[in-house]
Amino acid sequence: MSHIRLLNVTKRFGDVTAVNGLNLEIEKGECFSMLGPSGCGKTTTLRMVAGFEDLSEGEIHVGERLISSRSKNWYLPPEKRDFGMVFQAFAVWPHMSVYENVAFPLRVRRLPAAEIERRVKDALSSTNLLAVSKESPENLSGGGKQRVALARALAINPDVMLLDEPLSSLDPHLREEMRFEIRDLQRKYGFSIIYVTHDQAEAMALSDRILVMNLGVVQQIDTPLNVYNHPVNRFVFSFIGLSNFLSVVRDGDGFRLRGGERLPEGLKPTQQDKVVGESGERISLASRPSEIDFCNEENCLRGVVSRKSFLGEIVDYQIKIGDQEMRVQKSRRAPGPNVDETCSLRLLRPFWYTEI
Amino acid sequence: MEDLIRIEGVSKSYGAHRVHGNLTLSIPKGECFTLLGPSGCGKTVLLRLIAGFEAPDAGKISIDGVVVSDPAAGVNISPDGRNLGMVFQDYAVWPHMTVFDNVAYPLKLAKKDRKEVSERVMETIAMVGMSGLEKRLPSELSGGQQQRVALARALVAKPSLLLLDEPLTNLDANLREEMRFEIKELQRKLDATVLYVTHDQEVALALSDRLAIMDESGRIRQTGSPWEIFERPVDPFVFNFMGIANFLSVRREGEEYFVGNGTQPMPWEKPTGDCKEWVAAFRPSDARIAHDGAGLRGVVRRASFLGAMMDYLVDVDGAALRTSVETHEAIANGLMFNDGENCVVDFHNLHWFEAESLREVMGTSVREGKS
Amino acid sequence: MNTVVQKSRFGVAQIILFLSISILVVVVAVPVLLILFNAFWVNGKFNLNDVIRIISEPDTWQALMNSLIIAAGTTVGSTIVGTFFAWLVTRTDLPYKGFMKGMFLVPFMLPSFIGAMAWKMLLSPRAGFINKFFMTYFGLSGPVFNIYSYAGIILVEIMYLFPFVFIQVCGALERMDPTLEESARISGAGLFTITRKITIPLVLPSILSGALLIMLYSMAHFGTVAVLGIENGIFNIPTLIYQRIHQSAGSFSSIRTGTVLATILVLTAAFILWLQGKILSRGHYQIIAGKSFRPMELKLRTLRMPLFIFCIAYIGFTIVLPTVVIFLVGGLKTYGLPFTWENLSLENYKFILFKYKVTRDAIWNSVTLGLSAAVITMFAGVMISYVIVKMKVRGKGILEFLGMLPFSVPGSVIALGVILAWSGKYGVNLYNTVWIILVAYIARYMAFSLRANSAALEQVHDSLMEAARVCGASMWQTLKDIVLPLVRPGMLASFFLIFLPSLRELTVSIMLYAPTTRTIGVAIYTLNEDGETVVSAALAGIALIIIVTGQLLVERFLGKKAHR
């Protein structure tokens, strides 16, 4: 049986449904990310697991324990759940030393002094904080503070770790470094992670599985590679990278651009795309700017370069196709057309979605 | 081409802290010029010297042929006498005036008649894409819209020079990308001379005709076109500042060059000079990872899937290097490596620097360089 | 950042600086210096022995001790009450928290000496309504509580001063990042542990800073002690200064005693402010919230209703009851009659508003004095704040120092100082005129104006002014078109911050009034002292109505402005 189970979890704030009928199973030792734009319900879900929000419907189990249930009116308070949690704004206590911050969860559990000392030392050494254990966390950098928060969460050796955008207050370089540290800590202690983020690269790099969420509704749950290879809908596609959408309509056997010319012969949905395109129905042809080649063949999309910018590693093109626009990004060494020139484009990985 | 701004031997200190010493720079008319540097490098001070908010200790600044600052001759024209447009990082649109009144203010000061003011204001507001919002107060606008108002206000009086002080820093990433293209469009359309100050190398590359890279001590390291700066960096500082940088330490033994502590010879173009310790610098996209073939043999230490990119940390004889492959290419060409797998790394082009010159950069701030 | 580029040595900047310094020197620095001078110099010679002699006189020593005892009691009590209520309305599920919060701030508006008068009517040992009630109906031989005591004075001061702590702690608790508490909860701590180990320590700087403000205020507080203390011979420093100067009609020795006591007040105030600054700068944690969630609410469960009733009772007892008593007594024909319909009328109110010259003069004086002081102080304050916040000129340091002075000079010290400065000794004699009160008001309220205007100017970012300069505006045009319109809300706020309190001012006016220059506060106080209790209560009632209406109007008006 899975370690963490959410059954039909729903949360309403007044008229707004923040999370709608969420079913989820997370394995022991798994790193599970919840990804979505702000306000999509990912943080609310995490807070329901933590116990800071109660449920409007459904129930949550962890291991053998039922921790929240609407129908049974059962609600285990956060302090009884024995989870570790790290917040975006660090939330380390400035009036206590680093050592005391980490010792706090052990002290409230009234563990023997020697045990506390051993566990705090262990958590501090895992996070490379032994040298600053006597300092106030106020004197540490953002990364240092977040390490204190991690060590504090580790101290009780929890089997579930809840991470609420823990890296978004850090600068990009540090963010990357901490990402790997979290992964290493997980390997060492073996806890399950529920990780909330709006940064798709972070979720991809860290997780075993990803949940993409929008407006309180699950869009896709899968491994990072599968989410990248097969985004199930237009929203998921647009959320996990730069994207182009061309609006097209069915025209007999093939397709043509909205109010424009026919698409090249081979460019049409496969069975996998699950999009038929009834006559007259508008559908989106999706592509990524980096997954488009310039070509010389006849059987290609044709457009005119309206803007070309040198951005260092890449060159960024804006191409006018009929009355629609597309971005193309090529490595700086790849040859490409100039502004106002006509060009042909080949989509390397086209996706087809019904328009929203 | 005629120079619009000429800065000759300018020095500026605050107490014992010297921000600029004997700085010389000129910008031709009609050019979009960017001052790029890490925070605290004095680029904003230079902008404020040109605007007249600060006075230089020595040297001479002239705008459009008029000397505006020359302490030796006792000349220091105040900002209102310099015929400038300026856009600030925090927008600085006046919260008690409507969009129209904000944009009209420079013309009102110039005592233009009402009809002309109204025409010019509406025209400028349209140019920045804010038509229909003239009667709004700034508090009813988004950050991006406020910055457009600031831009219109700076342009309305057709100043000889437009100064932009990190105008996009407070905007979110998408808007920033959109606005940098718009600013470039406007500059081209109006044929305006622009001096743009930023720490963001992508913005600088996207919109400048030429740019200057400034280091922490306020010294200009290199001036040139975006392509020159990116492809022909004069030193490791510039190379490091312009994007993700890899530095491989290489030692010379006789005529051969070896990476790290190993014995694999470097098969690519080699530097000239009799220095013993070198670094070979390259961008992640300049390194190609493969299972076999020509190149340096190494081990994948860490493979990270970042969505569009596969990112690899590779160990070559004790030297670490980063390379990345677009995921679709990696999948198509079988380049999805796992941790601990053996690999071969080949390079497109390497920039050679003496190890000493890199140490100087590392000593200051390799990390802050990338923003 | 230097926003003003200078060309000549005597530019606009220097003129403004000179004017600013002059105002503060004349209005604040000279009076304070004269007090120090008169305290330590006798016949042109430094004389410390005399100072020690004065302090060791039994009366003065006792007054000093009383000030300390009362201030200490008030501070401790107010801190406990203020912190408790702040915690209750921000961190628990107490019903009607918003309403409660508003009610707990009401004492800010009410003049404490009027409250003291009300409590005298309720709890004076023989005639107090409550004491009489218990003695009559329960056959008690003595009073239930004697308000003419240290405990009485302290309790009344607590009722009116605890909002200083309450508002500071409420602010800190509301701004505090809720994840600081949530992380303690997920660590396994229960809510009471969190309150004790996390919440209270984190807001401790705010609690202490509010407590010190109360200490400062209580040390120099005149009204309550004057109303309740004199009966039993309890004097504190301000009331003793008043009594000495009043009794001896300004004799030299009484002024000297006054200056020595005033010096002690100034030094204490300076020390307290220094301590407060230290606490705020050292212990001010970065606990401001990044992401906002509703903070956790402690479920009071079984305590919810009892605590709710307790709060209602507290509000009823300390705010509603005294106010009602004032209005009822103001309606009585004669003090001592029972509250029956035939004994109550609006006659007293009509009398003081339309017939009685003393009260009509007092209202006129207070309104004109308040208006003039508010206008002058508002403009002076905005100019001085501008120099301090926005300009970079040589000599600004002097101004910054002078600008601190108004904050640390208590009212009775200012009054004594202006007597020394403006009694004809230095060429100008304003004594016994309304002008001397005006000068004192300006000095007393300068701090309010500086605070409001500096805050408004800090909001006007330098780049807003610089943007105008590059657009072609001169420095004056920038001031006129950009700075003044933007600080207008701050100026308006400072105007009302001065005008409304000045309507009920007592500490300064009582030392400076002449028969024709009574203010509302003086009139209420003296009428009460003269036994005209009902007239005095009626005037107090009128004052309360004016002040509360004014306050409500301001909140409406300025509250809306702030949203623009």
Query: Which residues of chain A are within 8 Å of residue B226 when distances are taken between CB atoms?
Result: 310, 312
- Tell me whether C2 touches chain B (CB under 8 Å): yes
Overall residue count recorded for chain C in this entry: 564
* Tens-digit pLDDT profile for residues B59-88: 999 999 999 999 999 899 989 999 999 999
Is the pLDDT assigned to residue B371 strictly greater than 60? no
Interchain proximity C472–B51, CB inside 8 Å: no
Query: Which residues of chain B are within 8 Å of residue A311 when distances are taken between CB atoms?
Result: 202, 205-206
pLDDT at C385: 92
The answer to whether B25 and B7 have CB atoms below 8 angstroms apart is yes
Evaluate whether residue C469 is within a structural domain.
yes
pLDDT at C432: 83
- C23 and C73 fall within a common domain: no
Interchain proximity B226–A310, CB inside 8 Å: yes
Pick from C185, C286, C293: which is nearest to A78 by CB? Answer: C185
pLDDT at C562: 43
Give the strand order in the sheet containing A160-164: A84-86, A160-164, A192-197, A31-35, A209-214, A217-222
The answer to whether B152 and B123 have CB atoms below 8 angstroms apart is no
The answer to whether C105 and C163 have CB atoms below 8 angstroms apart is yes
pLDDT at A227: 94
- Tell me whether A152 touches chain C (CB under 8 Å): yes
Is the pLDDT assigned to residue B369 strictly greater than 50? no
Q: Of B167, B15, B35, which Cα lies nearest the Cα of B92? A: B167
Query: pLDDT over 70 for what percent of chain B?
Result: 97
pLDDT at C116: 92
Evaluate whether residue C197 is within a structural domain.
yes
CA distance C560 to chain B (A): 14
pLDDT at C290: 45
Is the pLDDT assigned to residue A278 strictly greater than 80? no
pLDDT at C295: 63
Closest-CA residue in chain A for C176?
A91
Closest-CA residue in chain C for B82?
C470
Give the strand order in the sheet containing B75-76: B17-28, B3-14, B58-63, B66-70, B75-76
Pick from B206, B302, B306: which is nearest to A204 by CB? Answer: B306
Interchain proximity B78–C3, CB inside 8 Å: no
The predicted model scores a pTM of: 0.82
Interchain proximity A89–C289, CB inside 8 Å: yes
* Tens-digit pLDDT profile for residues C92-108: 888 998 899 989 988 88
Domains of chain A: 4-235 (3.40.50.300), 242-354 (2.40.50.140)
Residue at which a domain ends, from C329, C354, C388? C329
Range of the domain at C202: 64-329
Tell me B139's DSSP state.
G
* Tens-digit pLDDT profile for residues A121-149: 999 999 999 999 999 998 898 889 999 99
Give me the phi and psi of B137, to 5 degrees please.
Answer: -90, 150
Evaluate whether residue C491 is within a structural domain.
yes
- Tell me whether C464 touches chain B (CB under 8 Å): yes
Output the DSSP codes for C288-356.
Answer: B-SS--PPP-B--GGGHHHHHHHHHHHHIIIIIHHHHHHHHHHHBSSTTS---GGGB-SHHHHIIIII-
- C105 and C123 fall within a common domain: yes
Query: Which residues of chain C are within 8 Å of residue A67 when distances are taken between CB atoms?
Result: none
Q: Which of A87, A150, A154 to mutate to test the interface with C (most CBs of C within 10 A)?
A: A87
Query: Which residues of chain C are within 8 Å of residue B154 when distances are taken between CB atoms?
Result: 470
Query: pLDDT over 70 for what percent of chain A?
Result: 97
pLDDT at B108: 92
Neighbouring chains of A at 3+ CB pairs under 8 Å are B, C
Is the pLDDT assigned to residue B367 strictly greater than 50? no
* Domain CATH for C320: 1.10.3720.10
- C314 and C391 fall within a common domain: no
- C396 and C313 fall within a common domain: no
Residues 6+ apart with CB under 8 A from C314: none
Interchain proximity C486–B96, CB inside 8 Å: yes
Euclidean distance between CA atoms A196 and A163, whole angstroms: 6
- C367 and C316 fall within a common domain: no
Is the pLDDT assigned to residue B288 strictly greater than 70? yes
For chain B, give the mean pLDDT.
89
- C399 and C287 fall within a common domain: no
Domains of chain B: 3-236 (3.40.50.300), 238-369 (2.40.50.140)
- C449 and C344 fall within a common domain: yes
User: Looking at the 3D structure of chain C, how many domains does it have?
Assistant: 2
Q: Could you tell me how far CA C24 lies from the centroid of its own chain? A: 20
- Tell me whether A69 touches chain B (CB under 8 Å): no
Query: Which residues of chain A are within 8 Å of residue C185 when distances are taken between CB atoms?
Result: 52, 77-79
Name the residue type at position B257.
Y
- C364 and C495 fall within a common domain: yes
Tokens of A303: 């457009």
- C348 and C273 fall within a common domain: no
In this structure, the strands spanning A192-197 and A160-164 are parallel
3 state DSSP class of C13: helix
Q: Of C463, C458, C487, which Cα lies nearest the Cα of B150? A: C463
pLDDT at B43: 92
Is the pLDDT assigned to residue B235 strictly greater than 70? yes
In this structure, the strands spanning B75-76 and B246-253 are unpaired
pLDDT at A101: 95
**Residue of higher predicted confidence among A330 and B260:** A330
- Tell me whether C486 touches chain B (CB under 8 Å): yes
Q: Left if phi > 0, otherwise alpha if psi is -120 to 50, otherwise beta: which for A5? A: beta
Strand partners for B60: B8
- C312 and C200 fall within a common domain: yes
Taking residues A344-349, report their average pLDDT: 91
Tokens of B242: 């312009």
Q: In this predicted structure, which of A86-100, B280-294, C4-18 has the lowest mean pLDDT?
A: C4-18
* Tens-digit pLDDT profile for residues A162-198: 999 999 888 888 888 899 899 999 999 999 999 999 9
pLDDT at C283: 58
- C383 and C521 fall within a common domain: yes
Residues 6+ apart with CB under 8 A from C162: C77, C78, C79, C81, C82, C85, C104, C107, C214
- C412 and C539 fall within a common domain: yes
**Which A-chain residues 248-267 have CB contacts (< 8 A) with chain B?**
none
**Which A-chain residues 173-192 have CB contacts (< 8 A) with chain C?**
none
**Which parts of chain C register pLDDT below 70?**
1-11, 249-250, 282-296, 559-564
Residue at which a domain ends, from C329, C357, C392? C329
Interchain proximity B80–C461, CB inside 8 Å: no
* Tens-digit pLDDT profile for residues A21-58: 999 999 999 999 999 998 899 999 999 999 988 899 99
Query: Which residues of chain B are within 8 Å of residue A288 when distances are taken between CB atoms?
Result: 308
In this structure, the strands spanning A160-164 and A84-86 are parallel
Closest-CA residue in chain C for A53?
C296
The CA–CA distances, whole Å, from C316 to A98, C94, C323, C325, C444 equal 47, 17, 10, 12, 33
The answer to whether C434 and C365 have CB atoms below 8 angstroms apart is yes
Interchain proximity C177–A78, CB inside 8 Å: no
Q: Which of C463, C470, C561 to mutate to test the interface with B (most CBs of B within 10 A)?
A: C470
The answer to whether B369 and B38 have CB atoms below 8 angstroms apart is yes
